[in-house]
Amino acid sequence: MIVNDSLLKKYDKSDMFTLLKNFPKHCFEGYNFPLPEIGKNFEKIIFTGMGGSAIAGDIIKVLIEDTTEIPVFVIRDYSLPKYVDFKTLVIAESYSGNTEETISSYKIANEKKCLIICISSNGEIEKIANLNHNLFIKIPSGMPPRCAFGYLFFPVYKFFVQMNILPPLEKKFFEKIEKWVNDFSLYSKNNKAVEIANKIHKNILLLYSENRFYPGILRWKTQIAENSKSFSFINVLPEMNHNEIMSFYFPKLLLKRLIVLFIISGIENERIKKRIEITSNIISQKVKEVLKLNIEGETLLEKLIYLIILGDWVSYYLAILNKVDPTEIEEIKILKEEMKKGEN
C-alpha cells in the first residue's frame, strides 16, 4: 500500500503527523527551559515513571553509565527499592500528572526525604510537588504522553549538563534532529520509515540490538503497540545468543510472518558485531526476512535519538497501513476506568 495524503486524513483523525513534525521544536524548547541549580548532593539516581514518561530515564541511564560511576535505576512500579534514601535523586515523570504508579513511588521518595524533581504537564503530581516544595518542571500539555518525549527528556538532560555529568548539546545536534524528522515525514519510496513500515505490515517485527540501544528498541515496541496496534518483540545481544536463538523452530506459521531487524550502530563491541553477523546467517533461512538497520549519528545520544525518531515514524506509518488511528488508545482508557471503580 502507498502512504498518501488521503490515507493520512482518513485514519490520522487527531493529527499525530503534526506532533511528530514538531518534534525538533519540542526538543529545542525542552533543552532551553530555565532550570534552577540543584547541586550534586546525591549518590544514586532513580527515575520513576511509566510508558512514554519512563523512556527518558532509560536513555539518561545509558548515557550516565557510559560516562560516570553514578548508579542509575529506572523504576516502573508503585514502590521503590529499600536502598532509596536521602542521598538519592528521584526524578518523577508523569506527563499527565495522574499516573498512579508514579504518584505512589513519589510519595515513598518524599517520605524517605529524597532529593526530588517532578516533571509533568499538570495533574496530581504538580499539586503534591508544590505542596511539598519539591522542584517542579511544568511542560506543555495537550498531547499524547508518547508524543511528549522532547519535553520529558531534554529538561532532564539539561539538569545533568548543569551538574557537569553530561556534555552540553550544540546547535548542530538539533539541526540533525530536524533533518531526520524532515526525511521521515516525506512519505516517498526513499523514506526509510515508510520502507520499514511496508516491510512489517501484516507481519511481526523481531528487533535486536546491543544493550546500550535497548531504550531505543523498547521505544519501538511501545510505539508500535500504541500507535500501530501491533505486536513486536525485542531482545539484546549477547543475551539473545544464550537462549532465544533456539526459538526459531515453532510455531512454523509464526516464523513465516517474522521480520527480524538488527540494529547496527557502528560502535558495537567487536564481539557483538561478529555475533550479529553469525546470528543473522543462522536464522535467515528460518524467518520471512532478516534486515539490518545502520543508524545515523556520531555520538551515542545522537544514535539513540535517531533510532527513536525513526521508530516513531515507522509506528505512525504502520498505523496508517493498518487502517487505524495512531492516537486512539481505547483499551488503555477502559483499563484506567475499571481501575478507578470502587475507589474512595
Burial of 338 (0-12, 13-18, 19+ CB in 10 A): exposed
pLDDT at 242: 98
C-beta atoms surrounding 260 within 10 Å: 22
CA 40 to each of CA 69, 134, 250: distance values in angstroms, whole numbers, following the listed order: 13, 16, 52
- Residue 152: in which H helix or E strand, if any? helix 149-162
Going from N- to C-terminal start, the domains of the chain cover 29-168, 171-321
- Give the 3-state secondary structure of residue 257: coil
258-264 and 72-75 as β-strands: parallel, antiparallel, unpaired? unpaired
Span 260-264, mean pLDDT? Answer: 98
Q: Do domains 29-168 and 171-321 have the same CATH topology?
A: yes
The pLDDT confidence band at residue 344, using thresholds 50, 70 and 90, is low
Q: Work out the average pLDDT over 38-55.
A: 91
Q: Among 30-44, 195-209, 268-282, whose mean pLDDT is lowest? A: 30-44
Q: Does domain 29-168 have CATH number 3.40.50.10490?
A: yes
281, 226 Cβ separation under 8 angstroms:
no
- What DSSP string runs through 291-323? EEEE---SSHHHHHHHHHHHHHHHHHHHHHHTT
Q: What pLDDT score was predicted for residue 183?
A: 94
Tell me: the pLDDT tens digits for 158-199?
Answer: 999 999 999 999 999 999 999 999 999 977 668 999 999 999
* pLDDT value, residue 215: 97
What confidence score (pLDDT) does residue 36 get? Answer: 86
User: In the predicted model, what is the mean pLDDT of the chain?
Assistant: 95
Q: What is the mean pLDDT of residues 222-250?
A: 98
Give the pLDDT confidence score for residue 113 in this predicted structure. 96
* pLDDT the model gives residue 231: 95
SS3 (DSSP) at 235 = strand
Task: Catalogue the active-site residues.
Answer: 226, 242, 336
Q: Taking CA 229 as the corner, what is the angle to CA 198 and CA 14, rounded to the nearest 5 degrees?
A: 90
| pLDDT, tens digit, 9 for 90 and up, residues 293-339 | 999 999 999 999 999 999 999 999 999 999 999 999 999 999 999 99
Q: What class, spelled out in words, does domain 171-321 have in CATH?
A: alpha beta
DSSP type of residue 211: G
pLDDT classification of 126: cutoffs 50, 70, 90: very high
Rounded Cα gap, residues 277 and 154, in angstroms: 35
Interatomic CA distance for residues 92 and 101, integer angstroms: 10
The pLDDT value given to residue 270: 96
The whole-number pLDDT of residue 52 equals 84
User: Sorting pLDDT into bands at 50, 70 and 90, what band is 37?
Assistant: confident
